[in-house]
Amino acid sequence: MSGSISTVGNYQSYFNKVLKKRLKYVNNIAIIIAVVFSITLNIPFGQFWWNLLYTTFRSPIIFVSLFLIKQSRTKFSVVEYTKHKTLSSQIYYSIFSITFLKNSLFYILSSYFVFFIYIFQLPFWSQYYLVSKEYRKKPEINDEWIFYWYFPLVLSLLYSGQHIVFQRNRLNFQYGSSNKIKPDNVLLAKVPKLIGGSIGLNLIITFSSPIIYWILKPIIYKSNFLIILLFGLDPTIPKFNLSFTTFLSISYLSYHVILGWELMNHVFNVYSTIGCLDGKKPISTYSSDPINTLLSGLRNVDVNYQLSRLTAFQELAYISSSDDAEAVKLRQAIYNARSRRGFIWPAILDECSLVIKETTASINYRSASDLKVLKQHQLTIKEELKKSTGYSKSSDDSDIFGNSIYVSSSAPSSSGISPATTSTVKQYIPDSSKNPTSLEAKILGSKAYKTFESQVIIPLKAFIVSVLDNNAAKSTNKSKNPLISNLKQSIEKLTIIINKYNQKFLSTYVGVLFRITLKRDTETRVINAVNFGNAVIAISNLLIHSIEDDKNGIITDSNICEILNLLEKPIRATNNYIEFLPASIYLTDFQKQRENKKLINNHLIGVLHDLVMSEFFQICVKFNYKLNDLVLNARTYKLAKWVIDVAIADQQSQQQHQRRKLV
């Protein structure tokens, strides 16, 4: 493996085989749910022994209904956060999308399968028209029968809509998780919550469906006008005659449907998020060349293979940080593995760097309005700093740098003592004994130079000064133009009024749809926090473990510099975001929440800041012996120096604490 070049396996193919094996357990659980639901659906109607007999043909139909939900999750599950900053945009772009239509089709078919087998238990199962006592040319349509078949359509669309809008189809992973999830411990943990949630969702849908049906009733009948005539029925819209018994029966059935969907989604989430380990074996080890296969997974940026790429980064983080024998073996192989283009390590570093740089750029991004507010805020801070320090443009330069070796003898000190006398650096005093050379003195004192100065240099200086004064005067006149100044003031006042009413609108119940919350803003900036976190963990731990495992010296000082400089950027970007939140973010009480450290540190970008800072700290401590020899940029060097100072201070405090214990 260390020196040979073998055929690179596709990580996606190995991952699909493992995922397919895991999802077989979902099918087994679906069979159990189908049998239980087949029995419970007939409990209100009695006939226990007949119920057991009916289970033999009902259960397969219910299983097909649940299997459709599994297929929809397989096709439409995502691992990234949404890119929409407001709930209104999220609703709009989710509902009016091809994904919603395709996803809803699975739920519609699933619901109609269950409603089809249940209608035979109801008295009106074949009564699609009513027999009137009065003479009618054509029989009247049974509106109760129509409502029954209308209900699964609304149920499916509403459930599918909330599932897509609130991203309940997103698979939730944690970065750096190296332990295999045990499904047996997780499957039953959320069942009580799912039962309660299904009851609430069923009540909302059940009580809202008659209202929606009453609104859409004319459209339903008019759109099916030809079908009604084909069956020889009266095309006039009948009265709403839904009985209370039928309403309860539909509500009972819809609860089973919703609970079945909730259970299937939960089971799918559990088995799909087990992670990169199949038993105790990483997925890439099924290949004859695990490292190159893993690299193919890291490089697979196809949107349809988000889950396999996430698993590849998770496996890389596991290999780089775990002490398991299999992980250590693969980690040592990374330092030695080769491809046709050379060693694998630079390629792995490039893939991780790409993810980190993209996320850092997204965190740094500010819109034009946010950037304008940020600049004004920075100018305000500068003005406050000038006032607090007493600095002004007219002050002498010698007061700015107290340790400067060039100090004017007439510069006063705030303490009444010259800075030069208090400084350990000697004051620089020009040597008066060194005079200009005789040749220079002759040239400056000659008549020709004086004539050139009076005829050329002095007029040229005067011309330049006059041009500069005229330009300054023109700019001053423009700025003093009353029309322009009044227009600017009006625009500023109008902007203030608009912002004021915008804040009032956002504080209303309707404004909730248009708020850019702190949670949504952070998620839209870091749409795949798991890949970012695993990339940081992977390169940091591979760098740290190279001290012992890299026997060939593949990781060089330039790699150390590159990684430290790379990690400093997201540290700075996340810290800037935490310190200066974008002005477009809506906070109910800005000053109160802005000063709440718990709120600031608990959002997604705050968590990622702590992660990157921790890894940067570990690298600096491990490579402290060679930090002075590394070529780091100014910001990275300053941060590394601060980290070392903190580490030394912590070590000294621990030593003092231990001494006090001994005493």
For 505-521, the pLDDT digits (tens) are 888 889 999 999 999 99
Q: Is 553 left (phi over 0), alpha (psi -120 to 50) or beta?
A: left
Residues 282, 271: Cα–Cα separation, whole Å: 16
Asked if 205 and 154 count as a contact pair (C-beta separation under 8 A), the reply is yes
Asked if 425 and 405 count as a contact pair (C-beta separation under 8 A), the reply is yes
Three-class secondary structure of residue 633 per DSSP: coil
pLDDT at 158 over 90: yes
Q: Which residues contact 478 (CB under 8 A, 6 or more apart)?
A: 484
Q: What are the residues facing 343 on neighbouring strands? A: 338
Residues 238, 216: Cα–Cα separation, whole Å: 13
Residues 27, 302: Cα–Cα separation, whole Å: 28
Q: Which residues contact 21 (CB under 8 A, 6 or more apart)?
A: 278
- What is the average pLDDT score of the chain? 82
Reported confidence tier of residue 461, pLDDT bands at 50, 70, 90:
low
215-237 pLDDT, tens digit per residue, is 999 998 888 888 888 888 878 88
Q: What is the mean pLDDT of residues 584-597?
A: 69
Asked if 515 and 586 count as a contact pair (C-beta separation under 8 A), the reply is yes
61-104 pLDDT, tens digit per residue, is 999 999 999 999 999 999 999 999 999 999 999 999 999 999 99
Give the relative orientation of helices 11-40 and 306-321 as an angle to the nearest 10 degrees: 110
Q: What is the pLDDT of residue 5?
A: 35
Give CA separation, 496 vs 491, 493, 510, 587, in Å.
9, 5, 22, 18
CA 68 from centroid of its chain's CA atoms:
29
Q: Is 322 left (phi over 0), alpha (psi -120 to 50) or beta?
A: beta
Q: Could you write out the DSSP letters of every residue in 273-338?
A: SS-SEETTEEGGGGSSSHHHHHHHHHH---GGGHHHHHHHHHHHHHHHH--SHHHHHHHHHHHH-E
Asked if 286 and 279 count as a contact pair (C-beta separation under 8 A), the reply is no
Q: Which DSSP letter does residue 78 get?
A: B
Instruction: Determine what percent of the chain is predicted with pLDDT higher than 90.
Output: 49
Q: Which residues contact 97 (CB under 8 A, 6 or more apart)?
A: 164
Is 0.95 topped by the overall pTM?
no
Q: What is the pLDDT of residue 364?
A: 93
Asked if 522 and 581 count as a contact pair (C-beta separation under 8 A), the reply is no
Q: Which residues contact 207 (CB under 8 A, 6 or more apart)?
A: none
Asked if 582 and 588 count as a contact pair (C-beta separation under 8 A), the reply is no
Q: Which residues contact 568 (CB under 8 A, 6 or more apart)?
A: 616, 633, 635, 636, 639
Q: Is 348 left (phi over 0), alpha (psi -120 to 50) or beta?
A: alpha
Three-class secondary structure of residue 129 per DSSP: strand
Q: With the C-alpha atoms ordered 62, 64, 67, 72, is the resulting torsion angle positive or negative? A: negative
385-437 pLDDT, tens digit per residue, is 556 545 444 433 333 222 232 333 333 333 333 333 333 333 323 344 444 44
| 141 phi and psi angles, rounded to 5 deg | -70, 140
Nearest residue to 207 (alpha-carbon basis) of 167, 242, 168, 239:
242
Sequence-ordered alpha helix ranges (H) in 508-633: 518-525, 529-549, 557-579, 590-594, 597-602, 604-622
Asked if 146 and 220 count as a contact pair (C-beta separation under 8 A), the reply is yes
pLDDT at 22 over 70: yes
CB count in 10 Å sphere of residue 67: 19
Q: What is the pLDDT of residue 513?
A: 93
